[in-house]
Amino acid sequence: MDAHTALDLARWQFAITTVYHFLFVPVTIGLSFVVAVFHTLWITKRDPQWMRLSKFFGKLFTINFALGLVTGIVQEFQFGMNWSDYSRFVGDIFGAPLAIEALLAFFLESVFLGLWIFGWGRIPEKLHAATIWLVHIGTVLSAYFILAANSFMQNPVGYKNNPETGRAELTDFFAVLTNKVQLVTFPHVLFSAYLCGGAFVLGVAAWLVWRNKKHEDRSMYRKAAKFGAWMTLVAGLGVVVTGDIQGKIMTEVQPMKMASAEALYESQSGAPFSILTIGSLDGQHEKIAITVPKLLSFLGTGSFNGHIQGINDLEKAYQAKYASDPLTRADSYTPTIPLTYWSFRLMMGFGFLAMLIAALALWSLRKSNGDNALTSRWWKWLGLAVLLFPILGNSFGWIFTEAGRQPWIVFGLLTTSNGVSPSVGPWTVLLSLVGFTLLYGVLAVIEVGLTLRYAKAGAPPFDDPFKDSDDEDSDDADKQLAFAY
């Protein structure tokens, strides 16, 4: 095995571990918001069902948070292990946002999550409710700073290239935080996370309505399902709007990515968008194509007659601009077209399907607390589908985002082949790849098992943690003194 094999293995390892980690990220962001809302509704309405739902989905959130934490640590280690030249090149840029994410956002999440988990009945209830909101704020801040680092890879700003050290050096941290790609990517990812959170609640609640035979519990789960369905639809609309803006920014800063999303080889105005194409894998020869006229131009420019640059013209321009520099030289500046074409469509398709199921759920729930709502046997499977679809859509969205940037690891500055660790051999990468894959497989079994176990158990019975707080005869002395500690 040679250096090229080491590069391919390192790319596979990063792809597997990153996609696996990102399965948990949108779910935890979305569920932290849901749990905070449910807890707040309990405080304001004093309806026991909201407390039960808050504790129930809080437990499922905690399981996913723990797995996301464990798998996320691996990502930063890989920068030093397999991508040392990349780390050396962008370390001055990435150091600030990643340090803030770890020191501020992560500790905000972890500290206040601990307070929320163990604070029931031990700290004032309004302060206790505030802790889960701080957890949600921490997840949002964490996403912002990590996306700021990723947006630099898509559209480098706020830096200068030092030819003596061969590194990109930070000159304007504010420019990095307000990168035009960052300002549209962050709300898009946030709405996607809320879409995942809402669909998760809808899916679990719909399944429990179908399964549960107790009328009072059915009423509670229908309430959760209605909340999840509305959250899914509203967040889905947010994803559509921000995605439309993101497409226009992408066309401006990464025109090759937009061209590869459609497999558009020749530049044209009024470019169509194909919903489905059957032909050669690279898209150069098509037999059957279902297209929407001029839609690609609108997605990329905001005008149905807008001009979209094709892959062939962009390839020639990039060869002329970048091929002379060793750090930016590549055999081809065209991404893997089948991967970008289909990941782009699967991203959108799974999102729209989740919104469709949410609309069907609201139609079924249109009569408040109707006994027949969500009881059809189809909801056993629709609940599972609506839970998985947004997670898959998020994953394919990130696959498109990263694969569409290739061959760049930092667009216009450093190719992926120049970012790999030169001293790490292919056998070393292969062993760690196999090890991580097996470990993640075990973690997947544990995560799915825990989620199914606690989801099947349903919401815990109502137990007001403050009911004895003013009872002088209570024998729970530790409970009364806990806050004093």
Count other Cβ atoms within 10 Å, centred on residue 298: 19
Give the pair of three-digit tokens for residue 135. 């957890």
Distance, CA of 14 to CA of 150 (rounded, Å): 14
Give residue 279's pLDDT.
Answer: 60
Give residue 464's pLDDT.
Answer: 63
All residues at 6 or more sequence positions from 67 whose CB lies less than 8 Å from its CB, including other chains: 24, 443, 446, 447
Number of residues that make up the chain: 485
Q: Average pLDDT across each block of 10 residues of the chain; the chain has 485 residues. List them in order.
A: 74 86 88 92 87 89 83 75 84 82 80 86 86 91 89 90 83 90 93 94 87 72 89 94 90 89 85 73 66 81 84 90 86 89 91 92 74 74 89 91 90 87 81 84 86 81 60 45 39
The answer to whether 47 and 102 are in contact (CB under 8 A) is no
Distance, CA of 352 to CA of 354 (rounded, Å): 5
Distance, CA of 375 to CA of 372 (rounded, Å): 6
Question: What letter would DSSP give residue 83?
Answer: -
Say what the alpha-carbon torsion angle 334, 339, 345, 350 is, to the nearest 10 degrees. -150
C-alpha distances in Å from residue 188, one per residue of 137, 266, 396, 414, 476: 17, 29, 14, 26, 48
Give the pair of three-digit tokens for residue 422. 């030169």
C-alpha distances in Å from residue 109, one per residue of 69, 179, 218, 481: 11, 25, 32, 26
E strand spans, 344-461 = 408-410, 414-415
Give residue 25's pLDDT.
Answer: 87
Helix (H) or strand (E) holding 278: strand 273-279
SS3 270: coil
Give the pair of three-digit tokens for residue 258. 């937009």
Q: What is the CA radius of gyration of the chain?
A: 25
The answer to whether 474 and 114 are in contact (CB under 8 A) is no
Distance, CA of 209 to CA of 280 (rounded, Å): 46
Tokens 């943690």, residue? 465
Give residue 117's pLDDT.
Answer: 87
Give residue 472's pLDDT.
Answer: 42
The pTM score is 0.87
Distance, CA of 35 to CA of 24 (rounded, Å): 16
The answer to whether 101 and 145 are in contact (CB under 8 A) is yes
* CB crowding 156-193: b at 16 or more within 10 Å, else e: bbbbeeeeeeebbebeeeeebbebebbbbbbbbbbbbb
Distance, CA of 139 to CA of 33 (rounded, Å): 10
What are the start-end ranges of the H helices in 164-254? 173-177, 180-211, 215-253
Tokens 């798998």, residue? 71
Residue 372, Cβ density class (10 Å: 0-12 exposed, 13-18 middle, ≥19 buried): exposed
Count other Cβ atoms within 10 Å, centred on residue 103: 10
Nearest to 336 by CA among 5, 4, 11: 11
Helix (H) or strand (E) holding 169: strand 167-170
Taking CA 456 as the corner, what is the angle to CA 455 and CA 461, rounded to the nearest 5 degrees?
Answer: 80
Taking CA 47 as the corner, what is the angle to CA 485 and CA 472, rounded to the nearest 5 degrees?
Answer: 40
C-alpha distances in Å from residue 306, one per residue of 241, 294, 299, 302, 484: 19, 8, 9, 7, 66
Taking CA 310 as the corner, what is the angle to CA 307 and CA 314, rounded to the nearest 5 degrees?
Answer: 110
C-alpha distances in Å from residue 130, one per residue of 26, 101, 194, 199, 317: 21, 21, 19, 24, 54
All residues at 6 or more sequence positions from 363 whose CB lies less than 8 Å from its CB, including other chains: none
Q: For residue 97, say if its preceding peptide bond is cis, omega within 30 degrees of 0.
A: no
Q: Which residues pair with 40 in a beta bridge?
A: none
Give the pair of three-digit tokens for residue 452. 């199914």
SS3 214: coil
